[in-house]
Amino acid sequence: MSIKLFINALTKFTLGVVLIGALLFLPAWTIYYPNGWLFMGILFIAGIIMMIKNPELLRKRLNAKEKQNEQNLVIKLSGLMFIIGFVLAGLDFRFKWLSLPNIISYIAAGVFLFAYLLYAEVLRENTYLSRTIEIQENQKVVDTGLYGIVRHPMYSVTILLFLAMPLVLGSLISFAVFLCYPLIITKRIKNEEQVLEAELDGYSDYKKKVKYKLIPFIW
């Protein structure tokens, strides 16, 4: 990893941590929010793993800008979901609306870490992954490993990751907000498959081979 990429990644990672911390701890109106610190710790570990294990993908994600108008809407909706979900989690802890037992938070933390391992495997299998929808030079269809089970394993894994987040935070109300994510991601998948089918050789045959988009035997 180059010094420039490291500084860029560290700067954006630090800003992200500060922003998420503000969204959680200010509504909670206390820094004594154990679930919030548990969540921040998990994110810190995940960020460090990304910086060490896959700096090239990190570079793509830091520098990429979405070109598809439909995807800009998806990104904005996802961002809004995160903001509302995190703020509600903090408020839920503060006012004790629908807080969850600690055991559920610990189980959710385990699910998050398991999902992140699957995420790392997806990154290993598909080096063409990018934050934006685009066809890269010499890109080929990946149909092995998790890609032999569903066509979009990265999105399958992010559903697990994002639905685990509010449970780690101990908030049932926040979980209800994050349930919007599967609906949001289906819009992204629809547009992405149109692009891939039109521009990536062999993708139409791949769709016939692997029937399911996100969940085996369901969809």
What is the tens place of the pLDDT at every residue in 127-160? 666 555 555 555 778 878 888 889 888 899 999 9
- Predicted confidence at residue 208, as pLDDT, reads 86
Count of Cβ atoms closer than 10 Å to residue 81 Cβ = 19
User: In the structure encoding, which two tokens stand for residue 184, read together?
Assistant: 């949001």
Report how far residue 3's alpha carbon sits from residue 25's, in angstroms, rounded to the nearest whole number.
32
Regarding pTM above 0.85, the answer is: no
The residue extents of the domains of the chain are: 3-209
pLDDT-derived band of residue 176, with 50, 70 and 90 as boundaries?
A: very high
Report how far residue 215's alpha carbon sits from residue 156's, in angstroms, rounded to the nearest whole number.
7
Average model confidence (pLDDT) across the chain? 82
Is pLDDT at 15 greater than 90 in this prediction? no
Count of Cβ atoms closer than 10 Å to residue 113 Cβ = 14
- Predicted confidence at residue 136, as pLDDT, reads 56
Maximum C-alpha span of the chain: 54
Report how far residue 113's alpha carbon sits from residue 80's, in angstroms, rounded to the nearest whole number.
24
Backbone φ and ψ of 217, nearest 5°: 70, 5
Which of the four CATH numbers 3.30.70.2740, 1.10.760.10, 1.20.120.1630, 3.40.50.2000 does domain 3-209 have? 1.20.120.1630
